Structure 1
Amino acid sequence: MKEIRFYRASEKPYGVFSNLYRRQIIFEGREYPTSEHAYQAGKARKDEVREWLMAAPSPALLAMAAHGLYQWDISPDWSRVKFDRMRGVLMAKFTQHPDLAAILLDTKDAVLIETATVDNAVNRLWGEVPGKGGKNMLGVLLMEVREHFAQNNSKKRRKVTMQAAE
């Protein structure tokens, strides 16, 4: 089975899968500069911590700051809801940007793997680190979103075909 590895937002064409890729999305009624912002906004327990995170000068610095929060600054249910939140953020990103959805769909049935360069627990959770492995949760969720779009496109094609046959 074909693998597609991605990591840096600047890499063509698959950098768009990175949450650091600069494309605005609207999530839960708020506009965010990146999907990383939309995801990390759910992590903070207090509004002032959330706004501090959102003021980070880049998505990479936002991620670093969010990963360094003290436990008491993190929403108590974060470990339970973070994957659902990421799934929702990714659905918003690819729904709102058909050009990005087309890139995702063009990967067909390839295994999508975020391949990090630095070995740490976060990179092994959301991706893989060469020689260390990882859960690749970002890749898994991207493949779920891709499957959702593929099924919806298939339903639309069937409907158009049925209407044309009538």
Structure 2
Amino acid sequence: MDIHRTGTDALARRAASSGENATFAILRRDGGALSVPALKELSFEVFPRGARVGAPGEDQMIAGIPNRDQGRWSTLLGVLGIAVLTVTAGLSGMAEFLRHGRALAPLSVLTGGLRVFRTSAAWSVLAPLALAGIAGSVIAAGLAAPVTADGTS
């Protein structure tokens, strides 16, 4: 994108030579976004020591950056913790199923199918996981309710 210099160029040179602080708002006629690198390049051409180029209100957004970065650490550690819990629950479920499998082997011979194994797996592995998921969702919703009560978080 090419930035055209007009009457603001002479105004900027006059402000730079007098040493006063001046603020300029640069807009595009079509309302599109401006190229910040091109504006910085232009400011170093016009002003002897350059100028600060930024969007309106960006100073207020800087305060949230440490919280955002700390939130990323919390997310990373939370994902790692859930991955460890998932592997642990899977290994525990397999061990439980193998333990029940030895006890159910004579019964499965008598019934002649895998239905006993599937029912046992559903009750010993799937039911506790589903119950823990439902209880966790209810508790999480209860803990988050005061934070999101007014619709903002």
TM value normalised by structure 2: 0.25
Structure 1 or 2: larger strand share?
Answer: 1
Greater helix share, structure number:
2
TM-score by length of 1: 0.23
- Structure showing greater Rg: 2
